[in-house]
Amino acid sequence: MAEPSITARSLTPDAVRSAYALIQPYIHHTPLLTCQTLNTIASTPQSAESLVGTSFEGQTPAKPKFRFFFKCENYQRIGAFKARGAFHALLRLIAERGEEEVKRRGVITHSSGNHAQALALAASTLHVPAYIVMPSISTPSKIAGTRSHGAEVIFSGSTSTEREAVVAEIQAKTDAILVPPYDHFDIICGQGTTALEMEDQYRALVSDKPHLSVHASGAEDGSRHLDAVITPVGGGGLNAGVATFFSGKPTRVFGAEPSFEGADDCRRGLESGQRVESVKTLTIADGLRTPVGILNWEVISDRSKVAGVFAVTEDQIKAAMRLVLERMKVVVEPSAVVGLAVCLFNEEFRRLVEKEAGPEGWDMGIVFSGGNTTVEAIGKLFG
């Protein structure tokens, strides 16, 4: 891998802490939930039948032990973690360029929905005009949510190349300042505040209720840590931000992607040693249809920061979503549960946990990235 840029080097835990200090007045402190039923399901070996047709066919299924801690960013403002990065980027932009210039020019971005709504909310809150380029196939509720905050929505094709072309056209007319959806220092730092909250909440929770952890005895409260955290990977801002916060700490970070129509570009890029530059997929995990950004790739491809990225099928995503809806009574969108799906169904990952955690198991943090779906969309998925 090429020598990291100065910008990548400046992505540090302290940068994430600075972002948190700035955005706290504008975001929700989302809950960290546990679920004994999902712990039990994930800690039970998969059936031999489920491994038929895979490279693990005929082998004894793995038996890892998990205790899950779910960071529920579906309860964040606009229903997704994206509010963190959007508020941070816009607040930094105003601090650097001045309120007058930013309000005069406005801001622009492209997004399938969650960053669109997040920037629209941040711009409305801070009284800045916003132009949002959205794929015409975006979820109607996400389009409506973006417009509800007063942003001007312009439609485009579904690929990142098509989106960026429309952004360039609008910028030429308006001189609006681009706030990228994921491949930006301030966005990454903002998203990384998810990990900061998660770590603090985990320590407080297991201090009060030690039985929730696989490490019920042993560590002092201040040294308790999640063994691992897994997040979805689309553009990579959340994963890169979380990995940035946990860099230098014992918590390992993993990524999760859909495999449908090549949506697992990050996993494939890591396998080949080169970032995949374009993705064209209609996976049900619509928030993960973009290629990993350049800056995010520098973080995620650093094995000292991200330990691996794993992929799951559409059916596995739906199965994980059903479990969250029915067992946890928590409303999530498909993109939010790819990390849980990896823990439940990806035999390669499950074997890794079994091998490295041993009989004690792992305390596993899972980020539910968003909950922007509708009754109609859920009905269509499971109809």
Q: Is 112 a catalytic residue?
A: yes
Tell me the pLDDT band of 112, cut-offs 50, 70 and 90.
confident
Residue 71's beta-bridge partner residues?
Answer: 32, 367
Q: Looking at 43, 71, 111, 112, which residue is catalytic?
A: 112
Catalytic residue (choose from 43, 65, 71, 82): 82
Q: Which domain holds residue 140?
A: 81-178
Each residue's pLDDT tens digit, 256-288? 999 999 999 999 999 999 999 989 899 999 889
Does residue 359 sit in the same domain as residue 291?
yes
Task: Let me know whether 145 and 200 are in one domain.
Answer: no
pLDDT tens digit sequence for 342-359: 999 999 999 999 999 989
The DSSP bridge pattern shows strands 66-72 and 32-33 to be antiparallel
Reply yes or no on whether the pLDDT at 2 is more than 50. Answer: no
Judge whether 5 lies within some domain.
no
My answer on whether 87 and 63 are in the same domain is no
If asked whether residues 338 and 210 sit together in one domain, one would say yes
Confidence (pLDDT) at 312: 98
Neighbours of 358 (CB within 10 A): 11
Q: Which secondary structure element, helix H or strand E, spans residue 165, and what is its range?
A: helix 160-174
pLDDT of residue 138: 85
| CATH number of the domain to which 172 belongs | 3.40.50.1100
Residue 91's H or E segment, with its range, is helix 82-97
Q: Are residues 131 and 192 in the same domain?
A: no
Asked if 115 and 179 count as a contact pair (C-beta separation under 8 A), the reply is no
Count of domains for the chain? 2
Q: Which of 154, 178, 202 is the last residue before a domain boundary?
A: 178
Buried b (16+ CB within 10 A) or exposed e, 257-277: bbbbebbbbbbbbbeeeebbe
* Residue located via tokens 């074997």: 351
